[in-house]
Amino acid sequence: MVLQDTLADKSYLFNTGRSFKSYGFLGCHMHDEGRAEFNVWAPNAKSVAVVGDFNDWQDSPMKQIENTGIWHIETNNAKLGNLYKFAVVGPDGKRNLKIDPYATQFERKPGDAAVVTPPIGHKWHDGLWLGRRKRSKPAQRPMNIYEVHLGSWKRHDDDSYYTYSEYADELIPYVKELGYTHIELMPVMEHPLDASWGYQQLGYFATTSRFGSREDFLNFIDNCHLANIGVIVDWVPGHFIRNYDALYQYDGTPTFEYQDENRADNKGWGAWNFDLGKAQVQSFLISSALYWIDECHLDGLRVDAVSNMLYLDYDVGKENLVNKYGDNRNLEGIEFLQKLNQVVHQEHPDTLMIAEESSAYKGVTDTVVDGGLGFDYKWNLGWMHDTLKFFEMDPLYRHDHYNLLTFAFVYMYNEKFILPFSHDEVVHGKKSLMHKMPGDRYNQFANLRTMITYLLAFPGKKLTFMGSEWGQFLEWRDWSQLEWVDLKDPLNQKMQAFTKAINDVYHDERPLWEQDYEPEGMIYSNTDDNESSTMGFIRQGKKKRQFVVAAFNFVPVEKQDYRIGVPYSGDYELLINTEDERFGGTWTKLETQFTADKTPFNGQPASFTVTLPAMGALLIRPTKLNRG
Known catalytic residue at 313: no
User: Is the separation of the CB atoms in 189 and 235 below 8 Å?
Assistant: yes
Pairing of strands 144-148, 461-465: parallel
Task: Give the 3-state secondary structure of residue 322.
Answer: coil
DSSP string, 394-406: -GGGGGGGTHHHH
For residue 456, which phi and psi values (nearest 5 degrees)? -75, -20
* Alpha-carbon span 568 to 625, nearest angstrom: 6
589's CB contacts (< 8 A; 6+ apart) are none
- Smallest Cα–Cα separation from 111: which of 18, 202, 179, 180? 202
For residue 386, which phi and psi values (nearest 5 degrees)? -65, -40
Can you say whether the dihedral through the CA atoms of 361, 366, 372, 376 is positive or negative? positive
Residue 367 carries which side chain, given as an amino acid letter?
A: T
Q: Strand (E) positions, 432-473? A: 461-465
Task: Give the 3-state secondary structure of residue 412.
Answer: coil
Q: State how far the alpha carbon of 182 is from the alpha carbons of 368, 509, 552, in Å.
A: 27, 17, 27
- Check 112, 234, 257, 304 and give the catalytic one: 304
489's CB contacts (< 8 A; 6+ apart) are none
User: Is the separation of the CB atoms in 533 and 484 below 8 Å?
Assistant: no
- Check 234, 251, 315, 356 and give the catalytic one: 356
Give the CA count within 13 Å in the CB-facing half-sphere of 215.
Answer: 7
* Alpha-carbon span 122 to 116, nearest angstrom: 17
DSSP string, 103-166: -S-BPSTT---EE--PPP------HHHHHHHHH--GGGS--EEEEE-HHHH-B-TTSPBPPHHH
User: Is the separation of the CB atoms in 618 and 576 below 8 Å?
Assistant: yes
Q: State how far the alpha carbon of 5 is from the alpha carbons of 2, 12, 65, 298, 487, in Å.
A: 5, 10, 9, 33, 63
User: Is the separation of the CB atoms in 468 and 461 below 8 Å?
Assistant: no
197's CB contacts (< 8 A; 6+ apart) are 149, 186, 187, 423, 478
- Smallest Cα–Cα separation from 522: which of 549, 551, 503, 552? 549
Known catalytic residue at 319: no
- Smallest Cα–Cα separation from 458: which of 532, 514, 552, 522? 522
Beta bridge partners of 48: 88
* Alpha-carbon span 416 to 484, nearest angstrom: 34
Beta bridge partners of 240: 272
* Alpha-carbon span 291 to 216, nearest angstrom: 17
Residues with catalytic function: 304, 356
